[in-house]
Amino acid sequence: MMFDFRFSEGLSKPELYRELLRAADALTAGECDGVANMANVAALLWEFLPDVNWTGFYRMVDGELVLGPFAGRPACIRIPLTSGVCGACAASGTSQLVEDVHAFPGHIACDAETRSELVVPVRRGGVVIAVIDLDSPLPSRFDLEDQAGIEELAGLLSGRI
């Protein structure tokens, strides 16, 4: 089976995220392997979102975040819940929209090129099971429309990863 998901140029952010959600749904529906689903969604995010330098997942394992499937440069493998944007997201259970990662207390610099970040929790039964992490080399790359789109994606994935 071949998949060729590409977004259409000139879409508004809400339209882009609707296309992304449809593609993620098509790729993950009926597949029970969470790692495979995270891998395909990380690739979709990389393909769909402009001006990103990392897209992927960290999984909650034994009280800390552990690197999951991603697209981009090599990344930090383990993140305590007391560190970084991802740790803050997992600990609080709330999305973290950071315009300037260098101003974020306790930021972990896995890639020195990263300037802004969006991290969204994936919850199952009210418990954070993973986070979706998006990094950009541009300051203030992400906004509330990005956050809403990724939160909807997280909801779709909650039973599929």
Per-residue pLDDT of 119-141, as tens digits, reads 999 999 999 999 999 999 999 99
- Per-residue pLDDT, 2: 46
Residue 5 has pLDDT above 80, yes or no: no
Prediction pTM value: 0.94
In the chain, domain spans: 13-157
Q: What is the mean pLDDT of the chain?
A: 93
CA atoms within 13 A on the CB side of 100: 2
Cα 44 to Cα 60: distance, rounded to the nearest angstrom: 22
- Per-residue pLDDT, 29: 95
Contacts of 142 (CB under 8 A, 6+ apart): 97, 99, 116, 117, 118, 134, 136
Identify which has the larger pLDDT, 105 or 62.
62
Residue 156 has pLDDT above 90, yes or no: yes
Q: Helices in the chain by DSSP H: which ranges?
A: 13-28, 34-48, 84-92, 144-157
For residue 138, the 8-state DSSP code is: S
Q: What is the mean pLDDT of residues 94-103?
A: 94
Contacts of 36 (CB under 8 A, 6+ apart): none
Residue 4: pLDDT band (50, 70, 90) is: low
- Pick from 12-16, 56-60, 86-90: least confident: 12-16
Contacts of 64 (CB under 8 A, 6+ apart): 78, 79, 80, 81
Q: What CATH number does the domain located at 13-157 have?
A: 3.30.450.40
- Per-residue pLDDT, 6: 67
Residue 1 has pLDDT above 80, yes or no: no
